[in-house]
Amino acid sequence: MIAKVHRLGRTLFGALRVPMARAFASAENPLNHIGALTVFFLWIVLVSGIWLLLFFRTSVSGAFESVEYLTREQWYLGGIMRSLHRYASDAAIVTIFLHMVKEFVFNRYRGPRWYSWVTGVPLVWIVFILGITGYWLVWDELAQYVAINSAELIDRIPIFTDSMAGNFLSDELLSDRFFTLMAFLHLIGLPIFIVFGIWMHIFRLTGPRINPPRRMMAGTLLAMLILSAVYPAASHEQANLAMAPEVLRLDWFYLHVYPLIRIWSPGWVWVLLVGVSSIIVIMPWAPRQKKEPPALVTLDYCNGCERCVDDCPFGAVEMVARTDGTNYSHQASVDPDLCVSCGICVGACPTATPFRSQGALLPGIDLPDRSAAKLRDDIIAAGAEKSSPHVIVFGCRDDAQLKAIEKAGHRVVQVNCMGQLPPSYIDFALSRGHADGVMLLGCQDGDCSYRFGAEWTEQRIARQRDPMLRGRVDVSRVALGWQAPWADNANAVQKFDAFVESLKP
Ligand code: HEM
Ligand code: SF4
Ligand code: SF4
């Protein structure tokens, strides 16, 4: 059932990719940088927030006036900063939601990756509280609505003895001290938590992408500036606790649960919020999944070159002092609790070479369930099925199009991730006459289930990253199924046929 939801989600993302791929090159496709875009939006919020802070007065009487001053008198800078602050906050909610959905549908939240998933949940809470306290600080009618409803929500938590809602019965009861507390939370306390939370969130990942490409940042900022200039953020009327506000323009990104506080009750809204958060937190273990055996180091073949450490996307390999008395100073060591069995380290290991003629094919690091030796056997078997020109397809097990290729009668040599395939295997298939061409079908950069499978493969084949494809291999005989020159919406079989045509003399 979950697998079906994943598949449906991937299909939808795939459909979204078609128009995006027309507009952007792969490296600059926003769909490949959703987490990093969120960080960028939070940067805009921070920088614009610092400007607002310079002019903001943290008293009940001064707050509204200071924000009005920025919006109307200093519209050319303060007003733009205010609008940027608001629109970037709203955009962050959209990208957080998309980021979460994407990690889910691409199955990047189970096994050892539960950690990034679970630490994402408090981040969402903090971002929402940050946004809500922000609306509170303007002290207009919307702030009044937010303050009164939030107070009712907080009063439902049994740990507070004094009623917070009592603070909002009249202007006289509302103290500057309480207002200053809100300002402290919004301006200092929560931003510190956000920075710490993001650090925790990506702590286990190797080379996390926290910055989008420069052109994307410039384009996004420009679009936000234009929006801010054309449609500047504005306040409601000043808050007046003696009157109930009549017309409110709610920010649905942040305040969508607020109407429910009135329609249901604060208690039921808590049930909804805590319930949804708890379901998200337990998702990595529901249903339980059998853990695949982690990568295994064979010291006899490990020369301590560190390539597996450089290429493992999950920080699961480290170099430790040698234990077998050989001349090498270090050896690779895998932490089974962090290893997701992607095999990218095997693709990086210089000793994973199918040309070895003596002894068993045992590389320095290997996957017990999908070994380098079995991969060589599969190539030899696929090479025996002669067609002319003969193409061997290597397929990443998560690629949605493998089934279509198999249905069309073409044999697929499966790998856990395209990054598991050492370039020497491509050389082996072509130079030993097992194939006239090799096609790699895997997820494109940004969709890769194991983060760097597509990127490392492209770089190895372009001879920019070790282990590189040997110079004798004619790269026109290697097709990357996720890269141009295919038509945007060509399916795997059409790509295969086009590739076979291109190989004909
Ligand atoms: C303020 C909110 C958030 C920010 C700024 C953020 C940012 C990021 C960044 C920059 C990465 C690294 C991406 C990469 O290099 O591959 C990442 C990874 C991840 N995020 Fe978030 N994230 C946020 C919220 C969330 C939420 C709410 C969830 C889900 C509940 C989530 C789930 C994940 C997962 C599972 C990964 C790891 C993916 C992998 O192992 O390949 N994130 N996030
Ligand atoms: S890549 Fe292979 S040889 Fe190099 S350190 Fe890792 S296991 Fe050892
Ligand atoms: S299988 Fe993947 S996660 Fe495990 S050590 Fe190798 S590269 Fe890292």
In order, the DSSP letters of 106-167 are TT-SSGGGHHHHHHHHHHHHHHHHHHHHHHHHT-BHHHHHHHHHHHHHHHTSTT--S-SGGG
Question: Does the pLDDT at position 291 exceed 90?
Answer: no
Q: What CATH class does 2-15+33-285 carry?
A: mainly alpha
Atom of ligand 3 nearest to the CA of 334: 5
Share of the chain above pLDDT 70, in %: 97
Among the residue ranges 38-47, 228-237, 386-395, the one predicted with the least confidence is: 386-395
Give me the mean pLDDT over the 244-252 stretch. Answer: 84
User: Confidence band (pLDDT; 50, 70, 90) for 169?
Assistant: low
User: What is the spatial distance between Cα 494 and Cα 373, in angstroms, rounded to a whole number?
Assistant: 31
Predicted local distance difference test score (pLDDT) of residue 341: 96
Q: Which ligand is nearest the CA of 363, by number?
A: 2
Of 364, 360, 343, residue with least CA distance to 352? 364
Distance 444 CA to ligand 2 centre (A): 26
Predicted local distance difference test score (pLDDT) of residue 431: 96
Report pTM. 0.91
Predicted local distance difference test score (pLDDT) of residue 358: 77
Predicted local distance difference test score (pLDDT) of residue 101: 96
Distance 312 CA to ligand 3 centre (A): 5
Q: Which ligand is nearest the CA of 467, by number?
A: 2
Name the residue with higher pLDDT: 486 or 347: 347
User: What is the spatial distance between Cα 342 and Cα 311, in angstroms, rounded to a whole number?
Assistant: 11
DSSP code per residue over 338-376: T-----HHHHH-TT--TT--SS----SEE-TTS-HHHHH
Token readout for 367 is 């996957």
Establish whether residue 364 lines the binding site of ligand 2, counting it when its CB lies within 6 angstroms of any ligand atom. yes
Predicted local distance difference test score (pLDDT) of residue 172: 65
Predicted local distance difference test score (pLDDT) of residue 385: 78
Q: How many CA atoms lie within 13 A of 295 on its CB side?
A: 34
Q: How many CA atoms lie within 13 A of 61 on its CB side?
A: 2
Of 422, 371, 368, 364, residue with least CA distance to 394? 422
Predicted local distance difference test score (pLDDT) of residue 270: 96
User: What is the spatial distance between Cα 50 and Cα 406, in angstroms, rounded to a whole number?
Assistant: 57
DSSP code per residue over 261-313: HHHS-HHHHHHHHHHHHHHHHHGGGSS--PPPPPPEE-GGG-----HHHHH-T
User: What is the spatial distance between Cα 503 and Cα 350, in angstroms, rounded to a whole number?
Assistant: 29
- What are the residue ranges spanned by the domains of the chain? 2-15+33-285, 296-503
Task: Give residue 385's Cα distance to chain centre.
Answer: 40
Predicted local distance difference test score (pLDDT) of residue 288: 84
Distance 401 CA to ligand 1 centre (A): 26
Give me the mean pLDDT over the 302-312 stretch. Answer: 96
Residue-wise pLDDT tens digits, 95-126: 999 999 999 998 899 999 999 999 999 999 99
